[in-house]
């Protein structure tokens, strides 16, 4: 597994923990780091993702909500919405990563942590967001 994929998984798990426990992000991330042995490279990018998502929380949630036809954020599974948050952050803020790579990585993480429906669900929303961003 690549370093960035591992980072995305760590970010997902940390955001899940933050959302489910209402722990402060720094505390949740530190607890995760204490319990799992992960490379410094993976942790560095995971930290960037977690705190990047938290820093743009409202904007990311709004973008997802606008493109999630007939789905409210609170109706989505915690796993799906946090995979979406990480991917939307990457689409908007990590311009060095091609959109197709971001979307494919999100789908792969969804296959591992989500349900059978997670991959197509996430693909549809991210594809709509990416197309909107490409248009301007």
Q: Helices 99-113 and 78-93, interaxial angle, to 10°?
A: 160
Look at 37 and 93; give whichever has higher pLDDT: 93
pLDDT in tens, 43-69: 999 999 999 999 999 999 999 999 998
Give the count of alpha carbons within 13 A of 24, CB side only.
Answer: 3
What span, in angstroms and rounded, lies between the C-alpha atoms of 56 and 114? 23
Question: What is the overall mean pLDDT for the chain?
Answer: 94
Q: Is the pLDDT of residue 134 over 90?
A: no
pLDDT-based confidence at residue 12 (cuts at 50, 70, 90): very high
What pLDDT was estimated at residue 2? 84
Instruction: Record the tokens describing residue 133, joined without a space.
Output: 């961003």
Q: List the domain boundaries for the chain.
A: 3-135
Give the count of alpha carbons within 13 A of 78, CB side only.
Answer: 10
CATH topology of domain 3-135: N-utilizing Substance Protein B Homolog; Chain A (1.10.940)
């Amino acid at each position: 597994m690549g370093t960035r994929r591992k980072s995305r998984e760590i970010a997902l798990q940390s955001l899940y923990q933050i959302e489910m426990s209402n722990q402060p992000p720094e505390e949740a991330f530190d607890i995760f780091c204490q319990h799992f042995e992960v490379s410094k490279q993976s942790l560095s990018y995971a930290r960037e993702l977690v705190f990047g998502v938290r820093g743009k929380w409202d904007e990311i949630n709004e973008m997802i909500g606008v493109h999630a036809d007939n789905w409210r954020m609170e109706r989505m599974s915690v796993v799906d919405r946090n995979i979406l948050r990480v991917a939307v952050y990457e689409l908007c803020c990590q311009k060095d990563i091609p959109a197709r790579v971001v979307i494919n990585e999100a789908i792969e993480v969804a296959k591992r942590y989500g349900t059978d429906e997670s991959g197509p669900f996430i693909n549809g929303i991210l594809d709509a967001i990416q197309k909107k961003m490409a248009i301007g």
